[in-house]
Structures are given as structure tokens and as C-alpha cells.
Amino acid sequence: MIRKRAFITGFSLIMVFGLILGGCGSSTPAGNGGADPQSSQGGGTAAPAEHPKMDVELLGANGTVQQAAIGIADTIAKVHPWIRMSATGTANTEANITQMIGRDPNTALYMVSSTPFVSAKHAVGQFAGKEPLLDQRMIAGFMYGVNGLVTLDSNIKSISDLNGKTIAMFADELPQQVYYAAFDILGIKVTIKTMSFGDQFNALADGLVDACLYLGTGNPGKPFIPVSNLQEVVVTKRNKVYPISFPAELQLQAVEKAGLQEVWPYQPVTALAGSLHEEQTEPFELYGSTTVALACMAGTDEELVYEVTKTLAENTAKLKDYLPALEGMAAEDMLSLLHMIEGESEIHPGALKYYKEIGIWPSVWEAANK
């Protein structure tokens, strides 16, 4: 059961990554073979020289997720000559999960965000009508993402002010269900128009809707960074874009009214000043979840997952060169950001082995998921 989450204040993605053994080919060769002098086996001793090389394809979705995927792939490939990894852009993280369904679990690793992870696990939302996908396993989280509403109308200051208005949202059934429940609680009539990810921002800029989703990414402790589509609206409208707070208490009531307590992967978040643009001087409330994380299927090679987890944890400083928002990442963040899991059984044994080895499981995860 998804726990009640602690409120998180700050700056805060999940992508899917697919492993193909032998013959997938890599656009990022990792070297000329041989043992890996930086392997973690035996406390820093070289990996066995006879270890077979693995061609790993990282399904990274697009945009920010793809940038993170490229950073992860390059970092792994440069450290481990026997892991030859390349990043592939895909439509979205839901598509990544769909691509993994039915594949040999011994050859599948992937990255995913909270919503598709729990939706696939419970066969709800975009995965309604499919068999529950119970053999997903998490490896690490890397970035947080937040959702809320923004408007060009300065008179709309709260969700109650949306009575009789129209908002645009992309096709994600869970947030839509929660917003409809919130509107019912408030006794207001709001029309939701489902659009593609980019079209919702175009509709707002063109005056076709009164509000659309605010989407930002990052990690706790700093202002969020709006997605590029929203940044374009902010520039075009010269900062005349305003956030609409979604109070934490109303969120929790709406989740309960929608009957999503068991599957809702989000938690209340307060976005710091500057999370929309420099003229946004007051914090505002919204909901957030992990949006960039590394996952795999249950049967994935344990040694591979251990090495990937250890290598990323020891080289997090390099990831900011690919995605500045990842600056300051640490092994503790990789574990604490796994908000979508319910316990030890949903972490891959290879990753869990590393987290236990350095003494951060379960304390770090439990502290972040009270």
C-alpha cells in the first residue's frame, strides 16, 4: 500500500531502460574489452576477465529523461568495459514499460516514472485492462517532478476560481481523476480538455483554455525548473503566467474521494519562489513524484544491476555535466527518491545489495517515506 508521504519542499522525473544481451549494438562503445579496473567486486578489485560483454540499450524517453539517460549510459560505459551501453530516445516512459512487457526478464532493464510504474503494477490508468505487471523492480531514483496548474489570468488565484473555466491536461488518467474529485469537493464545474503534452501549453498561450498543467523538474531544496514548453510560454507572455495552488489538504481529500489511496504515486509539494519565473515570489502548493528513475525486470542479472548501481552512486558528480539539475546527487538521493515502491521486495536484489553494503538501507528510504 502506498504510504502517506511526508511533505517535501523544494526542487524536484522516471525513465525506462532496456537491456539487450549480446548483439544489440552500442553507439557508445565502452572500450576495447578486458577486465574493469574500477569494478566494485572484492572491494575495488578488477571484474573477472572472463566476464562476457553485455550490450545494454537504455530506453530514455525524450526531453529531460533522455538527457539523463545519455548521462547514465556514458557514465556506465566509460567505467565498465564489459557493459557497453547506449541511450535510445522513445515516446515516453509508458511506452518503455509497454515495450518491456512480454520480453525475457533476464534481458530487461529500464527507467520509469512513478505514475506508469504504479499504473502498470495495478493495471490502472493507461494500463487499465492489461494484466498487472508485478515483476518490475527499482534500481535508483534521480529526479523529482511536480504537477500543478498555471494560468494567464491574474484573477485566478485558487482552484475555486476555476469555476466555469476550461483547463488543458495531457492524457494521464490519475491526475485527471484527482482534479475531478477536487472540483466535486469544492462544488465547482470545470471542463478538462485532454491534449498532447506540448499542445496543452500552446492552448494556454493561444487563449483556448483558461489554465493548463504546470510541470517542473529537479530535486528537493531548490526551485523547480519548468519544462521547456512552459518556459516558452513564460518568455512569450513576459512572465505574465501565474501558478494556481493545489492545497495539500484538498489533494489528500481528492485522492480519497477518487478511491486512489492504494495507487496514487504523488505527494504534496511546496514549490519555492522562482520555480515558475523570477517574478514568482511566493511559494505555491502542488503535487509531485519521482519522474526519472532506473528500473528493471525481476530476473535481470544481479551482478549487472549491482555494478550499475555502484558505478552511478560513485559517479553522481558526472551526471550534472549532462543534466545540470542533477548537481548534488548522492547515493542517499538515489534511494530516498524511490517513493513509488512499497518496500524491499520492489528493489532489485543487485541494487539492494549495494545500498545495504554502504549502510543506507532501510534507514534513508524510511526517513523519506514516513
pLDDT tens string, the chain, 370 residues long: the values are 333 333 333 333 333 333 333 333 333 333 333 333 333 344 444 444 567 888 888 888 888 888 898 999 999 999 988 898 888 888 888 889 988 887 766 666 788 899 899 999 999 888 989 999 999 999 999 998 899 999 999 999 999 999 999 999 988 788 999 999 999 999 999 999 999 888 999 999 999 999 999 989 887 678 898 988 999 999 999 999 999 999 999 999 999 999 999 889 898 999 999 999 999 999 999 999 998 999 999 988 999 999 999 999 999 999 999 988 888 889 999 999 998 999 999 999 999 999 999 999 999 999 988 7
User: How many domains does the chain fold into?
Assistant: 2
Task: Give the Cα separation of 364 and 275 in Å (integer).
Answer: 27
Smallest CA-to-CA distance from 62 within 276, 292, 325 is with: 292
At 28, give phi and psi (nearest 5°). -125, 80
pLDDT for 153 equals 97
pLDDT for 31 equals 31
Question: Is 285 found in the same domain as 182?
Answer: yes
* Residue type present at position 228: S
Question: Is 118 found in the same domain as 43?
Answer: yes
Question: Is 265 found in the same domain as 154?
Answer: yes
CB 214 within 8 A of CB 151: no
pLDDT for 93 equals 87
- pTM over 0.85? The answer is no
The domain that holds 162 is classified in CATH as 3.40.190.10
CB 83 within 8 A of CB 30: yes
Smallest CA-to-CA distance from 185 within 265, 258, 261, 285 is with: 258
Task: Please state the three-class secondary structure of the chain as a single string.
Answer: CCCCCCCEEECCCECCCCECCCCCCCCCCCCCCCCCCCCCHHHHCCCCCCCCCEEEEEECCCCHHHHHHHHHHHHHHHHCCCEEEEEECCCCHHHHHHHHCCCCHHHCEEECCHHHHHHHHHCCHHHCCCCCCCCEEEEEEEEEEEEEEEECCCCCCEHHHHCCCEEEEECCHHHHHHHHHHHHHHCCCCEEEEECHHHHHHHHHCCCCCEEEEEEEECECCCCEECHHHHHHHHHCCCCCEEEECCHHHHHHHHHHCCCCCCCCCEEEEECCCCCCCCCCCCEEEEEEEEEEEEEECCCCHHHHHHHHHHHHHCHHHHCCCCHHHCCCCHHHHHHCCCCCCCHHHECHHHHHHHHHCCCCCHHHHHHCC
In a domain, 1, yes or no: no
Cell of 255: 485522492
Question: Is 157 found in the same domain as 140?
Answer: no
The boundaries of the domain holding residue 360 are: 8-144+291-368
Question: Is 25 found in the same domain as 82?
Answer: yes
Question: Is 283 found in the same domain as 301?
Answer: no
Question: Is 103 found in the same domain as 76?
Answer: yes
Point out the domain boundary residue: 258, 289, 320.
Answer: 289
Task: Give the Cα separation of 119 and 132 in Å (integer).
Answer: 8
* Residue type present at position 166: T
Task: Give the Cα separation of 38 and 48 in Å (integer).
Answer: 12
pLDDT for 148 equals 93
Question: Is 152 found in the same domain as 282?
Answer: yes
* Residue for grid cell 501565474: 242
pLDDT for 200 equals 95
Question: Is 327 found in the same domain as 212?
Answer: no
Question: Pairing relation of β-strands 284-297 and 267-271?
Answer: antiparallel
